């Protein structure tokens, strides 16, 4: 028995840094590079292929936090431009899509922190939890400043600003360190607990009952975490946290992953694709905080599986890809879209199953 990779009908438009999920037996993927478009695929009616759902009503966004709850798709924060003349900012709004009426609605609450790049999932019906996320003030201030410097006419100044920003220590970025929860009925935010591990962005997230596993992700721009962490929720404001075996223990040259596809197949956690910089871990250990300076981003095609005791390299997908939408349902994992090594949004899709 092993993981089987098969092609799945491609999306009608490349989707990277987008959102998605499964509602009933229908897959959803969109936003991000697809702008305000949202697509759906009814697994019970494959002859219809991918179809278009209602367009997102407000500011187009990348890297939003998202999850499905009570058969509706929730989307929070992300980065977007409030006008054509302005640089991107971390957004603080939230929306919910109801497929029964094919309609988006804006939530009446704002996010308490920036959830750009955060990982979210439903812990129980109507209760969502969030890990990580960029600091709005830090992100907005830097983008506003560097957008005023033309890299073509003032390349040295532009490079100096970027180098200064990337050379900061981990804690200087102020990423969200709290584990937040959102009650969808009351539209109420509260802190569950402080995350004892460094805050992640772009981490893989998998829920199993009252347990949530985070797989790697970034700890600062360009530097990946090497840790797999598990959070056991005992009550609304009580949890325990522990480290699980890491992928690095199975491959000592592993650089960590961000933007990878993450899900479940045959009761095993799967981590596929993702992106990293070869040499960034070594540079950071040598005290080089701009750990990916001069390095080329690598797009991974390996597929890892965690059997509860250790990670195993299971197989590989046809191409290195990151920042797509991963969905697990009916003991199958769907890898939808993403970004390839050329930086372009991909429409290609794959399935992983246990055969």
pLDDT at position 315 is 94
Higher pLDDT, 98 or 234: 98
Q: What is the CA radius of gyration of the chain?
A: 19
| CA atoms of 171 and 187, how far apart (whole Å) | 30
pLDDT at position 350 is 98
Higher pLDDT, 234 or 296: 296
Catalytic-role residue among 216, 218, 255, 339: 218
Instruction: Tally Cβ neighbours within 10 Å of residue 107.
Output: 16
pLDDT at position 71 is 98
Q: To which H or E segment does residue 351 belong? A: strand 345-354
| CA atoms of 72 and 108, how far apart (whole Å) | 16
Q: Is the pLDDT of residue 180 over 70?
A: yes
Q: Kindly provide the b/e burial profile for residues 256-289, where b requires at least 16 CB atoms within 10 angstroms of the residue's own CB.
A: bbbbbbbbbbbebbbbbbbbbbebbbebbeeeeb
**203 to each of 131, 198, 219, 318, 351, how far by Cα in Å?**
9, 12, 9, 22, 20
pLDDT at position 238 is 78
CB contact set of 270 (below 8 Å; sequence gap of 6+): 3, 261, 262, 263, 264, 303, 304, 305, 306, 314, 333, 352
Smallest CA-to-CA distance from 264 within 321, 340, 209 is with 209
Q: What is the mean pLDDT of the chain?
A: 97
**127 to each of 73, 176, 304, how far by Cα in Å?**
13, 19, 29
Q: Is the pLDDT of residue 99 over 70?
A: yes
Q: Is the pLDDT of residue 345 over 90?
A: yes
**261 to each of 21, 63, 318, 321, how far by Cα in Å?**
13, 14, 14, 9
Reported as a pLDDT band with limits 50, 70 and 90, residue 1 is low
| CA atoms of 350 and 320, how far apart (whole Å) | 12
Domains of the chain by residue range: 3-354
Digit-coded pLDDT (tens) for 238-289: 799 999 999 999 999 999 999 999 999 999 999 999 999 999 999 999 999 9
Q: Stretch 37-52: mean pLDDT, rounded?
A: 98
Cross-strand partners of 91: none
CB contact set of 57 (below 8 Å; sequence gap of 6+): 36, 95, 104, 106
pLDDT at position 310 is 96
Q: Stretch 158-180: mean pLDDT, rounded?
A: 97
Q: What is the DSSP string of 164-220?
A: HHHTS-GGGG----EEEEEETTTTEEEEEEE-SSPP-BS-EEEEETTEEEEE--EEE
Q: Where are the alpha helices (DSSP H) in the chain?
A: 136-146, 155-166, 280-285
Active site residue 171: no
Q: Is the pLDDT of residue 235 over 90?
A: no
Q: Is the pLDDT of residue 166 over 90?
A: yes
Reported as a pLDDT band with limits 50, 70 and 90, residue 313 is very high
Instruction: State the pairing for strand pair 79-80/3-8.
Output: unpaired
Q: Which CATH superfamily is domain 3-354 in?
A: Kelch-type beta propeller (2.120.10.80)
pLDDT at position 234 is 86
| CA atoms of 285 and 216, how far apart (whole Å) | 17
Q: Stretch 38-64: mean pLDDT, rounded?
A: 98
| C-alpha angle 89-17-192 in degrees, rounded to nearest 5 | 70
Percent of the chain, pLDDT > 70?
Answer: 99
Q: Is the pLDDT of residue 307 over 90?
A: yes
Q: Is the pLDDT of residue 64 over 70?
A: yes
Q: Is the pLDDT of residue 41 over 80?
A: yes
């Amino acid at each position: 028995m092993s993981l089987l990779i098969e092609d799945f009908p491609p999306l009608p438009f490349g989707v990277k840094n987008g959102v998605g999920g499964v509602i009933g037996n229908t897959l959803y993927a969109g936003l991000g590079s697809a702008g305000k478009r949202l697509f759906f695929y009814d697994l019970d009616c494959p002859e219809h292929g991918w179809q278009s759902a209602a367009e997102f009503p407000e500011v187009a966004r990348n890297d939003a936090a998202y999850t499905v709850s009570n058969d509706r798709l929730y989307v929070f924060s992300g980065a977007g431009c409030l006008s054509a003349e302005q640089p991107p900012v971390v957004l603080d709004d939230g929306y919910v899509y109801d497929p029964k009426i094919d309609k988006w609605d804006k939530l009446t609450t704002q996010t308490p922190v920036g959830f750009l790049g955060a990982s979210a999932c439903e812990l129980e019906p109507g209760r969502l939890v969030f890990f990580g996320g960029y600091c709005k003030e830090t992100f907005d201030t830097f983008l506003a400043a560097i957008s005023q410097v033309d890299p073509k006419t003032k390349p040295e100044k532009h490079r100096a600003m970027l180098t200064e920003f990337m050379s900061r220590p981990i804690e200087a970025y102020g990423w969200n360190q709290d584990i937040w929860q959102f009650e969808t009925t009351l539209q109420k935010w509260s802190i569950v607990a402080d995350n004892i591990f460094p805050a992640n962005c772009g981490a893989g997230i998998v829920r199993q009952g009252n347990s949530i596993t985070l797989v790697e992700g970034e700890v600062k721009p360009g530097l990946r975490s090497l840790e797999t962490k598990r959070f056991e929720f005992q009550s609304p404001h009580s949890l325990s946290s522990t480290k699980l075996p890491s992928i690095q223990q199975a491959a000592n040259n592993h650089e960590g992953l961000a933007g990878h596809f993450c899900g479940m197949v045959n009761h095993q956690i799967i981590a596929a694709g993702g992106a990293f910089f070869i040499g960034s871990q070594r540079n950071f250990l040598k005290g080089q905080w701009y750990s990916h300076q001069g390095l080329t981003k690598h797009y991974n095609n390996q597929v890892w599986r965690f059997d509860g005791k250790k990670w195993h390299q299971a197989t590989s997908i046809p191409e290195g890809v990151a920042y797509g939408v991963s969905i697990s349902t009916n003991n199958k994992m769907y890898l939808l879209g993403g970004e390839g090594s050329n930086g372009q949004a991909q429409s290609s899709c794959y399935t992983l199953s246990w055969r």
